[in-house]
């Protein structure tokens, strides 16, 4: 492995490198690297890392929304099913309005 003092920035050939990206192993100047989770990464590796985490979060969020929708629809169906069962179990006189007339 070469010493960093003799390296040049991957993006800016005339600048000295100050850090080596831990993901891709290339050398970069101060403007081209950033610190993320106590690691020095270049802009390309950082963008890749963010894109992969956003994709995973999007997938999980989609599954979560689908489960919430299905749960809501199931509860709604159960509510109307049991409401219908209650209405069917009422006597015919109740539906005809003759239940209160007595006799």
pLDDT digits (tens, 9 = 90+) for 33-72: 878 777 888 888 888 877 776 666 667 778 888 999 999 9
- pLDDT tens for 79-98 read 999 999 998 898 877 777 77
* pLDDT value of position 14: 86
Which residues, at least 6 apart from 63, have a Cβ–Cβ distance to it below 8 Å?
A: none
- pLDDT attached to residue 30: 83
Q: Which CA distances in Å does 30 have to 49, 54, 57, 91, 92?
A: 20, 26, 30, 83, 84
pLDDT of residue 31: 83
pLDDT for 11 equals 78
Residue 12 has pLDDT above 80, yes or no: yes
Domains contained in the chain, CATH given: 4-89 (2.10.110)
Tell me the C-alpha to C-alpha distance, in Å, between residue 95 and each of 61, 81, 87, 102: 47, 18, 9, 15
- pLDDT for residue 103 is more than 60: no
pLDDT for residue 96: 76
């Amino acid at each position: 492995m070469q010493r960093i003092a003799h390296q040049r920035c991957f993006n800016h050939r005339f600048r000295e490198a100050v850090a080596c990206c831990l993901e891709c192993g290339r050398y970069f100047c101060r403007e081209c690297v950033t610190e993320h989770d106590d690691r020095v990464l270049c802009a390309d590796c950082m963008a890749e890392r963010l894109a992969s985490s956003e994709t995973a979060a999007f997938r999980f969020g989609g599954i979560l929304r689908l489960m919430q929708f299905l749960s809501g629809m199931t509860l709604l169906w159960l509510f109307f099913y049991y409401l219908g069962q209650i209405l069917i179990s009422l006597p015919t006189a109740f539906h005809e309005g003759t239940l209160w007339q007595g006799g």
